[in-house]
Amino acid sequence: MSDLSNGSRLLLTLLCDRKFHSKGKICKLLNVSAVCVNDHIKELQKIGVDLYTEQGRGYQFAHTTLWLDEEKIKAVSGAKNISVLLIVDSTNQWLLDKIPNLENGHTCIAEFQLAGRGRLGKKWISPFASHIYFSYYQAFNCSIEKLAGLSLLVGIATVNALEKSGIKGISLKWPNDIYYQNKKLAGILIELSASSKNICYTVIGIGLNVKMPASQGKQIDQSWTDLNTISHLDIDRNQLVAFLMTELACLLKDFEITGLRPYIDRWFKLDCFLGKQVNVIIADKITSGIYRGINTSGSLLIEQHGKTIIFTGGEVSLRLHNCNDNK
């Protein structure tokens, strides 16, 4: 499952102190040859690690991105349960593996995901120390069916957190995307499991682009943007993570009772496809019509020849009609 060798992991951990490390020192610490060190450096560069080298001094991180910091996040959010990791296969999976021994609100974030995943089985590009890879645990005393529309509420919480950070003009696309001017800024992946006691365990994953390295952006097969591009502000990832935690805790508190109903108006104000000609894609079948938003269950409403067609979640994709991203 890993895309990073053990030697490269060790080198990455070593370089995280942001000091210079000579090739000779690295060879000794890793017990490898200079050729192997070169291979490890190339491997790190492939995942977005930007290294600076200086004759006689060695290697260090080239950028000045602030690390994710557990104490800073706790200070802003007031939360207690947060796990900040350097490398993880997937922040969602890290929490899923610990169910049900978690408390509501337990959050996992990481600087790098080896196997980040998006909706419909897609890979989530996760360059090192560039974005926010965020997962949040919540158990509900209800069936899975009552959680329809949860991803829409998470989208609203994400926009709220971004607006608190000074980012304006963000919109939402059903069922799990955050957009800015028709380009994807963030995505949501919710993974659920139910117990025999009618308890539904959820892990809410949010991947949010902050500063995309050009080499990594080339791997994405749709239009995208990042916070560094759309804002003149210096984005504090720790503060933004804290805002995400706070907004989710607030909006999820009564969701199993109220559902989406109290947030419908907010969704319609943020919906970027409302009233537009769209394609609804299920496997190889495409249904075209005018997008009329959602109902109180979070289902998709399409007007076709004067009639309303309802689509629920699952393996459903929504695209603008004649859009290049219809794939």
Residues annotated as part of the active site: 119, 184, 319
Phi first, then psi: what are they for 250, rounded to 5°? Answer: -70, -50
Torsion of CA 245, 246, 250, 251, to 10 degrees: -50
β-pairing verdict for 107-113 and 82-88: parallel
Residue listed under structure tokens 């610490």: 29
* Sequence letter at residue 37: V
- Strand order from edge to edge, sheet including 277-282: 307-311, 300-304, 285-294, 277-282, 317-320
Task: Give 191-200 contacts, CB < 8 A, sequence gap 24+.
Answer: 191/92, 191/96, 192/144, 192/147, 193/96, 193/99, 194/143, 194/144, 195/100, 198/141, 198/142, 198/143, 199/100, 199/139, 199/140, 199/141, 200/139, 200/140, 200/142, 200/143, 200/144, 200/146, 200/147
207 CB-near residues (< 8 Å, 6+ apart): 116, 118, 124, 126, 131, 132, 133, 134, 186, 187, 189
Residue listed under structure tokens 């971004």: 162
